[in-house]
Amino acid sequence: MITQASILKSAVLSPRIRWAIVLLGALQLAGCGDNDMRDLQQYSKKILARGGSRIAELPPVEPYEVYAYASSDARDPFEPFFKEKKSTEKPPKEGTDNGIHPNFDRNKEELENYALDSLRMLGTLELNDELWGIIRSPDGTIHRVQTGNYMGHNHGKIVAINEDSIELNEIVEDGRGGWQERQAALALVEQ
């Protein structure tokens, strides 16, 4: 009768049998090789018999011409070639003059490109004992503003920044050719 113990004993190979198996495997691999390299030698002769062709000459190198920049009659290359745009708004019309009018000579600030109701106050930031407002524009950009900055289409100047709102003085046309001030506020948005 065949038992598990007899199967295990026959499965364990002696060292001599292991060496015999390794030697037989090596002999089989040695028989796979072929020392006949005639086809490789024929291919090499065929390629070498073709000969080489002449390489075309390189085009002549043109000499470098030195350019001396004379700035006496040309513009300065470090100055901007465009002028900053001034406000495209029209100056005030003739009419009632109460002394209130927007400053058309100043450069517009980034947040003046958006309507006041499209801007969102996200919070405040205290920096060097000064309170700054945090504003998100419709394109998702976050801006930091302080008292004296401008926002909105109506020349809105920030006059106060509180924890929950930003107060502005806007200058709008009064309908009679003049200008008038009005108060506006931007409240903190609860999220």
Q: Is 3 part of a structural domain of the chain?
A: no
* Domain region containing 118: 110-187
Q: Is 89 part of a structural domain of the chain?
A: no
Q: Is 15 part of a structural domain of the chain?
A: no
Q: What is the pLDDT of residues 137-186, one digit of tens each?
A: 999 999 999 999 999 999 999 999 998 999 999 988 888 888 889 999 98
Long-range CB pairs of 4-7 (<8 Å, 24+ gap) are none
Q: What is the pLDDT of residues 53-105, one digit of tens each?
A: 888 888 998 888 887 766 666 666 667 666 666 655 555 555 566 778 888 88
Helices and strands (H and E) in the chain: how many: 3, 7
Q: Is 162 part of a structural domain of the chain?
A: yes
30 vs 38, residue with greater confidence? 38
Contact 146, 127 (CB under 8 A): no
Mean pLDDT along residues 20-40:
79
CATH number, domain with residue 149: 2.30.30.830
Count of domains forming the chain: 1
Q: Is 132 part of a structural domain of the chain?
A: yes
| Predicted confidence (pLDDT) at residue 10 exceeds the cutoff of 90 | no
Q: Is 135 part of a structural domain of the chain?
A: yes
What is the pLDDT, as a whole number, of residue 17? 82
Q: Is 31 part of a structural domain of the chain?
A: no
Q: Is 47 part of a structural domain of the chain?
A: no
Please report, for residues 34, 42, 44, 51, 116, the alpha-carbon distance to residue 38 in angstroms, rounded to integers and kept in the order given: 11, 6, 10, 21, 88
